[in-house]
Amino acid sequence: MKEFKVRASCAGKLMANPQNKSEKISKTTKTYLEEWAKEQIYGIKKEFSSRQTEKGIEVEQDAIDMAIDWADIEFCVKNEIDFEDEYFTGTPDIILSDTIVDIKNSWDCFSFPLFEKDIPTKDYYYQLQVYMHLTGKRKAKLIYTLMNTPEHLGGGEDYSELSPNMRCRVFEVEYDQEVIDKLIDRVKESRKYLKTLL
């Protein structure tokens, strides 16, 4: 079995705190690691699909184009390069000269963080920290967009007439070495746990 490295999008699963202080990793982390081990053993990746993820895939390029126009981002193209080091792996959406940008597409206006002051999903914060670590950038932007849902996924709402500030929400994040150090410790503990499974 290959050595465990956490994908940036799953880094938050390692940051869950154990309920019992004598344990090094949480039940959430153990469940994630057990699924990862099964993927390695059987050579099959666990697939997850929902209307929300399908929408995100289908409208991704439109969301990137909207973010570039409305969030004052220099011209860029979607990144296709995977980055990795000894502990992490990940593929940021956009890499600018000094900033990482990741786009999240809200399912509808009720899941769009219109009034939020902080990133509503802490897992995305950890994801951006890993992206910055892997690329050497020290700034990141998490951009939520609100795009129309395709009809075949149950869409029907039309947000196209709304102003940009009602459809595009930007959260800025600075690099935090302490977070990366803690994640590296969690990866090391995860590797120890994986050795106990086999």
1 within some domain: no
- Residue 122 and residue 128: Cα distance in Å, rounded? 10
191 within some domain: yes
Q: What is the pLDDT of residues 103-148, one digit of tens each?
A: 999 999 999 999 999 999 999 999 999 999 999 999 999 999 999 9
**pLDDT for residue 76:** 83
Q: How confident is the model at residue 154 (pLDDT cuts 50, 70, 90)?
A: confident
161 within some domain: yes
Number of compact structural domains in the chain: 1
Q: How confident is the model at residue 198 (pLDDT cuts 50, 70, 90)?
A: confident
What is this structure's pTM? Answer: 0.93
Contact 183, 176 (CB under 8 A): no
The CATH number of the domain holding residue 126 is 3.90.320.10
Determine the structural domain holding residue 154 and report its residue range: 6-197
Q: Identify the DSSP state of 151.
A: G
The helix/strand/coil state of 149 is coil
Q: Identify the DSSP state of 9.
A: G
143 within some domain: yes
For residue 6, give the nearest of 123, 151, 149, 121 by alpha carbon.
Answer: 123
Q: Span 29-42, mean pLDDT? A: 94
